[in-house]
């Protein structure tokens, strides 16, 4: 569902084999998250999701392997366009690397994710923020989930 107004859209990839999901730990936070970020002006949502996946994990999902999960109400002023990707095998978290950096209040640059985990769905939903948990549970339990 899409809201009107000045809503921005963040685009993300749910990397899953149906039983487990890949999460990144948000640096300087207690929360974990999926690879996602804002679409650039004129950028297609699927292209933005694939770009964010590569920048934040190093993984490359071929465009034809993404399953469109739709655009969901996420936060006030921000929607979430989600895509699911089932790699041939779940990635080894130790081999992932975040190139996407953010500036700290002290002026240092640090990666957006500082580590990764492949977790069972029920555990993963307890590690992400409330809004992300709601959206992920809705898509996983909804009719469009491709990995049953």
Confirm whether 67 is domain-assigned. Answer: yes
Confirm whether 52 is domain-assigned. Answer: yes
Assign 56 a pLDDT band (cuts: 50, 70, 90): very high
Per-residue pLDDT tens over the stretch 12-24: 999 999 999 999 9
pTM higher than the cut 0.85: yes
Beta-strand relationship, 20-26 and 32-33: antiparallel
In whole angstroms, give the CA distance from residue 50 to residue 138: 21
Per-residue pLDDT tens over the stretch 125-144: 999 999 999 999 999 999 99
Confirm whether 55 is domain-assigned. Answer: yes
1 pairs with which residues across the strands? none
Confirm whether 64 is domain-assigned. Answer: yes
Structural domain harbouring 32: 8-141
Is the separation of the CB atoms in 121 and 20 below 8 Å? yes
Is the separation of the CB atoms in 121 and 140 below 8 Å? yes
Counting the structural domains of the chain, the total is: 1
Confirm whether 148 is domain-assigned. Answer: no
CATH number for the domain spanning 53: value is 3.90.79.10
In whole angstroms, give the CA distance from residue 80 to residue 2: 9
Confirm whether 42 is domain-assigned. Answer: yes
Is the separation of the CB atoms in 24 and 98 below 8 Å? yes
Confirm whether 129 is domain-assigned. Answer: yes
In whole angstroms, give the CA distance from residue 31 to residue 143: 28
Confirm whether 104 is domain-assigned. Answer: yes
């Amino acid at each position: 569902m899409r809201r009107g107004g000045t809503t921005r859209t963040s685009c993300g990839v749910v990397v899953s084999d149906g039983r487990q999901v890949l999460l990144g730990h948000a640096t300087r936070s207690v929360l974990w998250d999926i690879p996602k970020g804002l679409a650039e002006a004129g950028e297609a949502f699927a292209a933005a999701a694939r770009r964010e996946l590569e920048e934040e994990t190093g993984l490359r999902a071929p465009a034809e392997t993404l399953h469109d999960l739709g655009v969901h109400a996420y936060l006030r002023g921000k929607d979430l366009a989600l895509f699911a990707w089932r790699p041939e095998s779940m990635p080894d978290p130790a081999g992932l690397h975040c190139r996407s950096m953010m500036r700290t209040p002290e002026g240092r640059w640090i990666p957006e994710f500082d580590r990764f985990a492949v977790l069972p769905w029920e555990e993963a939903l307890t590690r992400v923020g409330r809004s992300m948990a709601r959206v992920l549970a809705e898509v996983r339990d909804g009719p469009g989930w491709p990995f049953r």
